[in-house]
Amino acid sequence: MSKTAFITGAGGYIGSETAVTLANTGIKVAVCDINEAAISNTVKRIEEIGGIAKGYVFDVTDSKSVDETVRQIVTDFGSLDIMVHIAGGSARIAGGQYVPLVEQKDSVIDTVLKVNLYGAFWASRAAARVMIKQGSGGKIINFSSAVGLNGLKTCTDYAASKGGVMSFTKALAKELGPYKINVNSVAPGVVMRPEENGGIDRALKTNLLNEKCEASDIANLVEFLVSDKAKFITGQTYVIDGGRTLSMKGTD
Ligand SMILES: NC(=O)c1ccc[n+]([C@@H]2O[C@H](COP(=O)([O-])OP(=O)(O)OC[C@H]3O[C@@H](n4cnc5c(N)ncnc54)[C@H](O)[C@@H]3O)[C@@H](O)[C@H]2O)c1
């Protein structure tokens, strides 16, 4: 029977590509985002390739909104087998600036932690409750970042939230292992979004391969991690950054 995936941030650059990639393998996709227009775009992309998708406007920072959305997904699709929490970002998602912690506003820190880290809690908890009840296992993936591993100036909020996702992944994998629910995390390096004009130099310089990372590179990793081929992998964070995190300041 075909599986159902609940994807947060499925209207965004990486989220949309991931939703389309999973749909292309026959997975039914609940396209969830706070941005209604972006949801419609992803649903359209999936329908164009003959996939099955339905859009849900929700706010991943609000546990009630997440629980209600998951209830609706199960009603609409009959099951929930995969959860991928991709919604997230740094100060930009709070309309804030990249500034040192001593200058950062409460509201920016609050939003960044809530979307990236609290969102992982609410989406994983709601999905795990359904998966445990179904008794047929499942896959949970939360998005971290290379910044969560190595830190970045002016991004303390983002770094802490994404580092938190890595620790959360390990602890939750221990809780959910007995239910055959795999819990992993994906940590991209620099993935230039289409709206980031002129960023190509940065995209090429920030990896060892001198190549631009595409959303599809990340989506392909998720496709593998939610497949049966990855059934023995749990509690891990997969860094996908073209070797970015190997660099050491002042050395080759
Ligand atoms: N692009 C990169 O270089 C990069 C690098 C490392 C990690 N990541 C991570 O990958 C993920 C996707 O990044 P992206 O570049 O595709 O960003 P994006 O801005 O294109 O997508 C993020 C999506 O999250 C949605 N969203 C924001 N707040 C929400 C909320 N409260 N509730 C529901 N949805 C909400 C947005 O509407 C948007 O569609 C993020 O978690 C990001 O931190 C990105």
State the average pLDDT over residues 126-143: 98
> What does DSSP assign to residue 177?
G
Quick one: how far is CA 97 from the chain centroid? 22
183-235 pLDDT, tens per residue? 999 999 999 998 887 677 888 888 999 999 999 999 999 999 999 999 999 99
Handedness of CA 74, 162, 88, 156 (dihedral sign): positive
**Interval between CA 186 and ligand 1 midpoint (Å):** 13
Type and span of the H or E element at 57: strand 53-57
pLDDT at position 39: 98
> Considering the entire predicted model, what is its pTM?
0.98
Fold of domain 4-187+215-240 = Rossmann fold (3.40.50)
Active-site residue, from 13, 56, 118, 158: 158
pLDDT at position 248: 76
1-20 pLDDT, tens per residue? 799 999 999 999 999 999 99
Going by pLDDT thresholds of 50, 70 and 90, the confidence category of residue 159 is very high
Separation of alpha carbons 5 and 104, rounded Å:
36
**Interval between CA 115 and ligand 1 midpoint (Å):** 9
Q: Is 175 in contact with 124 (CB distance < 8 Å)?
A: no
| Single-letter code of the amino acid located at 29 | V
Separation of alpha carbons 26 and 124, rounded Å:
22
Output the ligand 1 site: residues, CB below 6 A.
8-9, 11-15, 33-35, 38, 59-61, 86-89, 93, 115, 143, 145, 188, 190-191, 193
pLDDT at position 198: 64
Q: Angle of helix 36-48 relative to helix 13-24, nearest 10 degrees?
A: 30
Identify whether 98 is a catalytic site residue. no
Separation of alpha carbons 109 and 125, rounded Å:
23
**Interval between CA 89 and ligand 1 midpoint (Å):** 5
pLDDT at position 196: 81
Q: Is 237 in contact with 169 (CB distance < 8 Å)?
A: yes
Separation of alpha carbons 199 and 13, rounded Å:
15
Give residue limits of the domains in the chain: 4-187+215-240
Helix, strand, coil % in the chain, rounded to nearest 5 = 50, 15, 35
- Distances in Å between the alpha carbon of 246 and those of 73, 186, 189, 240, 242? 40, 17, 11, 12, 9
